[in-house]
Structure 1
Amino acid sequence: MNGMPSQELLTIGELAQRTGASVRSIRHYDEHGLLASARASNGYRMFPDKAVTQVKQIQRMIATGFTIDDIRGFPDCMLLIEGARSCDQISDVQRQRLEAIDRQIADLERRRLRLIKTLSEGAFPPVED
């Protein structure tokens, strides 16, 4: 294989099994440059064992609301250390993500109240600005 120092290498299936991520997700992370893989002589992707930590970190960040593009902009140290603390460099991104989530919650609450009103009155209420 090319470009990877000798260490334990994992197939995509083994990486999926160790992380709980789907093979499809791992391919997606790899295609977006979040993981380092090499191709075996048979063409299969092979991953260094540190990819287990990277996939788990990516899953945590996605579960927090970050996108793949957000994560691509994070410092490498955040992907290489399981449970790594957030760096100052991403505080603004975190605040922006929190504001977006707060807007979504407010919108859902407005929709919920409209639906409750619709159920109690039997008709759709007028749209309020």
Structure 2
Amino acid sequence: MRIGELARRAGTTTRALRYYESRGLLPARRNGNGYREYDEEDLRLLRQIRTLQDFGFELEETRPFVECLQAGHPAGDTCPASLDVYRAKLAELDDVIARLATVRDEVAAQLARAELEAGADLPGGPEPRCELAPHPATPHPATRHHA
């Protein structure tokens, strides 16, 4: 199949395919008239790349999976190097989740303090303030001078 058909079947663009080729992830075979030629195995490689990218893997992180498939393995994640990438990505995700949990806890605590100050959790308490204090660099509207 030619590059346009491969791009269509893989759900990507010809530009992306050329980029993958330049990065050594997609083999570049040419027929007699110079057109790129691809087969079902190339489509399989692309689907592996696209799936991993959908999961948040960087393009270079897909290389061990592609190499595993190119080595004849039935799946791209059956090689030690692929498993190492999975482990690294999992550690990265665990770190992001931990940081997000910390931020969430801080936002929840700030909300609780703000609600307590506003008396929003007490029946008959004062209404929450809806004003924001002006930024120190922004003069209050009453103190602005007109030219």
Interval of TM-score (by shorter of Structure 1 and Structure 2): 0.5 to 0.7
Normalising by the residue count of structure 2, what TM-score does the alignment of the two structures yield?
0.59
**Greater share of strand:** 1
Partner of 1:46: 36
- Segments of 5+ residues of structure 2 without an aligned counterpart are 116-147
Paired residues, what number? 113
Measure, in 2, the Cα distance between the counterparts of 1:65 and 1:115.
26
Q: Which amino acid aligns with 1:34?
A: L
User: In the superposition, relative to structure 1, how do residues 89 and 81 fare at CA in structure 2: closer, same or farther (>3 Å)?
Assistant: closer
- Unpaired runs of 5+ residues, structure 1, are 1-8, 124-129
**Separation (CA, whole Å) in 2 of partners of 1:113 and 1:52:** 44
Q: How far off its partner does 1:58 sit? A: 0.9
Give the Å deviation of 1:119.
3.3
Return structure 1 stretches of 4+ with deviation > 6 angstroms. 40-43
Q: Is the 8 A contact 2:64 2:81 kept in 1?
A: no
Q: Which has the larger radius of gyration?
A: 2
Which amino acid is the alignment partner of residue 16 of structure 2?
S
Higher relative contact order (CA 8 A, sep 6+): 1
Q: Percent identity?
A: 30
Amino acid at match of 1:113: D
Distance 1:24 1:116 in 2: 45
- Is 1:36–1:47's contact at 8 Å kept on the other side of the alignment? no
